[in-house]
Structure 1
């Protein structure tokens, strides 16, 4: 490996030294490139190969300049240094880069914020750019991130902006729909009811044009009406984002999954995982510790949401709340509890029909089902339920 000179230090690592071949299998760069001395660093500066430079010179062309690809968990993967019409977008589009109104003049990988860098995609995009004559600087910083609370607040604000935008789109489409329908009615009002087209008469062509205009406006009115319904539906979905994310039952299920992910990460850190992580490798250990910190922060955030819901009257059910013979309410139906488990209750199979399902009324050959505590909506004692059933039966009999 040859180290000839150095470039200025990158913002999170030391100076980058020139490398001519002999890359590690993880880097897989070819030709002339630069990297920092940190063994876990993925940053690099790729330059066109001497062969490509000679080819460009023979064609009377010059190297095209420098493109910078950066990634932080706070901002995602961004590509800067490109201008409209320079061909960069066409090169990196197959590698998931796109453009948007929120970042004018910058290309980015969608949904890359708050996530680990997709190094494979970044590397392939950089190699494609260098093959086209560009120098490429790769700057990956996995430690710069925003808190989960900040990310969640940003998602809520974006959802509110989408709701407002789609409301406006829906209103505009509805207005256009009514305009087209009104125009069709206006034209139709000028035609006597039941009047056919008089073939051969001097009014034939005008009548045909009126018919075409009525048909065209009605079709446009229907299309714009469907568009208005579509945007209204999207506005409603965006407007309910906050309520959807903070639904207590859904949040409890999310916490359960996050805690399982946290246990998996800890097993990998302990060297007992089976997912190819090596806790003795500096890059692997750093990433696993990042994941652990992020998961702990997210679990804490959602537990705060549940605590607030409990303060507002929401009940978090557990095995301490149920006993065999009680009834649990799930999706509008009461089921008799046959067994109390650590995370669920066992009940007669949910394919039994009716507002109340008991073990005597199990019509599915004794088949059972388990209902997680985080999906239950109520509890009633067995004696109280049987009194209610008896009273209802007596009332029906007297009637």
Structure 2
């Protein structure tokens, strides 16, 4: 495959490779060539990672390579094709899990370094009685001061290692939480709304520039995303307008609210922020629980006036 053929194939799939130069932060370090891949990246992220692409310095919307990857990417696309949205989500979960594992291992190493430094700190002054002052002019003065310095230095290293272990553990927990977040109904609903907005934008673009290849790809991706996230929401058991009626109660952000209007994509609740007359629209994917009007009324009669409790 020639370079021109590879460039044509990448253009067909919405990818662009641009040659650039690095901007070194150190004055003595010379710039070097770098190739940036941008455009429609999501269906090809696994391929770009496998080819050695990195996003650390260029952001998630650009992959960087030290050598021109045009032909390698084109050959990979011909061999593997485009990744489905299911595969793209699985790749995100896999990389989040790998990142959490790396952070956990580094945190464990830091905890070991913390414990070792702590023991060194105590061992440095093991032969000195607690509270023993430095005897100025005594033959033990030099040894005593050096022992205190070693103990202080080791304790500082222990504290620094402990702080690093805490930061790494928090990062590991954050990466694990990302996987759980991507399984929540609220996340699925947000992705569906994003896909619907992208479809509307693509349709507006095509109305202005008919048969534009980039906008056709955007429309294709948006329609595939809508189908995927709609199916995921159905599997998650998200409520629909058929499940709701005016006067029902829903639980949202830990509180119960009365439904005053049922909309195609949301319900309108009253007493938002506990202010009389204020309303708010809650997407179906963000409803935490639901009680029909009859059930809520029965509970109110049993427990006293007011909305459902708990």
Tell whether the structures are fold-level matches, with TM greater than 0.5. yes
1:226 aligns with 2:163: yes
SS of alignment partner, residue 250 of structure 2: strand
Q: Map 1:1-399 onto structure 2 (within 5 A).
A: 10-12=4-6, 77=17, 90-92=31-33, 145-271=82-208, 278-279=209-210, 285-309=212-236, 315-352=237-274, 364-393=275-304
Cα 1:339–1:301 shift into 2, 3 Å: closer
Indicate conservation of the 8 Å contact 2:266/2:281, yes or no.
Answer: yes
Q: C-alpha offsets along residues 83-102 of structure 1, whole Å, 9 cap, x if unaligned?
A: xxxx99814469899xxxx9
**CA-atom RMSD in angstroms:** 4.2
Q: Aligned in 2, Cα 1:71/1:192: closer, same or farther, shift over 3 Å?
A: farther
Q: Distance in 1 between matches of 2:219 and 2:35?
A: 32
TM-score, normalised via structure 2 length: 0.74
Q: Secondary structure at the match of 1:335?
A: strand
Change in 2 beyond 3 A, CA 1:199/1:389: farther
Query: For structure 1, which segment, 326-335 or 105-114, has the greater mean C-alpha deviation from structure 2 after superposition?
Result: 105-114
Relative to its length, the structure with more helix (as a share) is 2
Structure-2 separation of matches of 1:77 and 1:95 = 6
- CA gap of 1:304–1:345, structure 2 versus 1, over 3 A, is closer
- Find the aligned partners of 2:293 and 2:90 in 1 and give their Cα distance: 44
Larger RCO (CA within 8 A; separation ≥ 6): 2
- 5+ long unaligned stretches in structure 1: 1-7, 14-40, 44-69, 81-86, 126-135, 272-277, 310-314, 353-363, 395-399
Query: How many equivalent residue pairs?
Result: 283
Cα distance in 2 for residues equivalent to 1:391 and 1:319: 28
Find the aligned partners of 1:150 and 1:347 in 2 and give their Cα distance: 37
Distance 1:219 1:137 in 2: 46
- Structure 2's unaligned 5+ residue stretches are 21-27, 39-47, 306-310
Q: Judge conservation of contact 1:73–1:146 (CA < 8 Å) in 2.
A: no
> Structure 1: which 4+ aligned runs deviate by more than 6 Å?
70-76, 93-97, 102-107, 111-115, 136-144
3-state SS of 1:189 partner: coil
**Scaled by the length of structure 1, what TM-score is found?**
0.59
